[in-house]
Amino acid sequence: EVVLTQSPATLSLSPGERATLSCGASQSVSTNYLAWYQQKPGLAPRLLISDSSKRATGVPDRFSGSGSGTHFTLTISRLEPEDFAVYFCQQYGNSPITFGQGTRLEI
Amino acid sequence: QVQLQESGPGLVKPSETLSLTCTVSGYSISSGYYWGWIRQPPGKGLEWIGSIFHSGTTYYYPSLKSRVTMSVDTSKNQFSLKLNSVTAADTAVYYCARQWGSGDYDPWGQGILVTVSS
């Protein structure tokens, strides 16, 4: 199965700054089928990005996804207070579906 | 809009079977999409369990395949998860979700904590 490694494990930034989160895959993700989710404490994950770079409905344009093959990036251009959460990547191009271990974005 | 709600026992004894149901509102399961189960042990990451189509076609995570059964009841607009021979390692928040595209999930239910303990 494809192992996804997210870095860093924890990212400490301030509101207004730019955040760059990485997701590395142990093998190439077919068709760049890579998604990003945001999870806040006590809540279910929320889909942000699918197919590596497509924003989900209602997701602010400060969130952007990029990458291909084995390296993918989620960028938050200017952090808002509500963006501090845990972020997971997920690949669905290779069976079985797998998730990364998460990056905690903290103030 | 589409909403999902998990239901079932919050406590299961070791070696017994965990049974959960996901009720979908705002969309007819019979109309399409795959529907999935994902779990999250306390304080840990997400693990895909499997997905099911309204026809009954299923895909399971290989390491859980021998213990998992998913089913769908289109008359009730529900789909279900059974996980047998549970251990403490199966303690987690269990989420149901719609498989939106080829494997991304949106939306998700609120999740249900299932604890395996005697």
Residues of chain A with pLDDT under 70: none
> Taking 90 as the threshold, does the pLDDT of residue B117 lie above it?
yes
CB contact under 8 A, B103 and A33: yes
> Taking 90 as the threshold, does the pLDDT of residue B93 lie above it?
yes
C-alpha B37/C-alpha B48 separation (Å) is 7
Q: What residues in chain B have their Cβ under 8 A from chain A's Cβ atoms?
A: 45-48, 59, 61-62, 95, 97, 100-111
Instruction: Please give the pLDDT value at position B101.
Output: 79
Instruction: Please give the pLDDT value at position A100.
Output: 98
Given pLDDT bands bounded at 50, 70 and 90, which one contains residue B102? confident
C-alpha A53/C-alpha A19 separation (Å) is 16
Q: Smallest CA–CA separation between B105 and chain A, in Å? A: 7
CB contact under 8 A, A99 and B109: no
**Cα–Cα–Cα angle for B91, A47, A26, nearest 5°?**
75
C-alpha A37/C-alpha B60 separation (Å) is 21
Q: Smallest CA–CA separation between A16 and chain B, in Å? A: 27
3-class state of residue B17 by DSSP: coil
| Residues B42/B94, Cβ–Cβ less than 8 Å | no
